[in-house]
Amino acid sequence: MLFLFAATSLFAQEKKLAAGLGAEWNMNSREYFAGGAALSLDYNLSRFFALGLGLCASANFSDTVVLEPSALLRRYFPRKGYTGLFAQLDAGACIIFEDEETTPLFMGGLRAGYRLPLGQSLYVEPYGRLGYPFVFGVGVVAGIRLVENKADAPWTFRR
């Protein structure tokens, strides 16, 4: 609820923001694959770059739960409106809860995906990622774009 409240309050300020929620399948476990949920919030800095925050929570449905809070730097490849193909660097923490122990680790990764716009402000974003300590992940995020009302932004929220 706090995530949605923050995104809604930023909505009124007409910032170049996007907020998303998704699902992921990854190798975030020692022995088994894991399923996860992902949250993201990104801010467009310039025509091709965005900064943001993310959180992925994964579980192998047996004995391991992993939280990955991270910061991101994203590069969109030439296209207007912050859509299309992107490459992303992720850096943060990997907090592993396993066998009644908590293990914090550094997390770093590379992500590639495609932001597909749906109408004026919605999007779907399939992606794949590689990194440490999770090895790989594939997922999809659905979200809402909160952009300024400019002629060069094709998907704009209007009051």
Distance CA 128, CA 113 (A): 6
Residue 1, pLDDT > 60, answer: no
Q: What mean pLDDT is predicted for residues 120-135? A: 93
Q: Among 31-40, 57-66, 123-132, 139-148, which range has the highest average pLDDT?
A: 123-132
Distance CA 118, CA 143 (A): 10
Residue 136, pLDDT > 50, answer: yes
CA-based torsion, 48, 50, 137, 113: positive or negative? negative
CATH assignment, 2-146: 2.40.160.20
69 CB contacts (<8 Å, ≥6 apart)? 53, 54, 55, 92, 93, 95
- Chain centroid to Cα 50, Å, comes to 11
Q: What mean pLDDT is predicted for residues 113-129? A: 93
Give the per-residue pLDDT at 35: 94
Give the per-residue pLDDT at 159: 43
Domain boundaries, the chain: 2-146
Query: H or E element: which one contains 153?
Result: none
Q: Mean pLDDT in the chain?
A: 84
- Rounded to 5 degrees, φ, ψ at 142 are -115, 140
Q: What mean pLDDT is predicted for residues 73-92? A: 88
Distance CA 113, CA 141 (A): 10
Give the per-residue pLDDT at 7: 47
Distance CA 80, CA 135 (A): 32
pTM of the model: 0.79
Q: Strands 17-26 and 135-146: what pairing?
A: antiparallel
Give the per-residue pLDDT at 96: 93
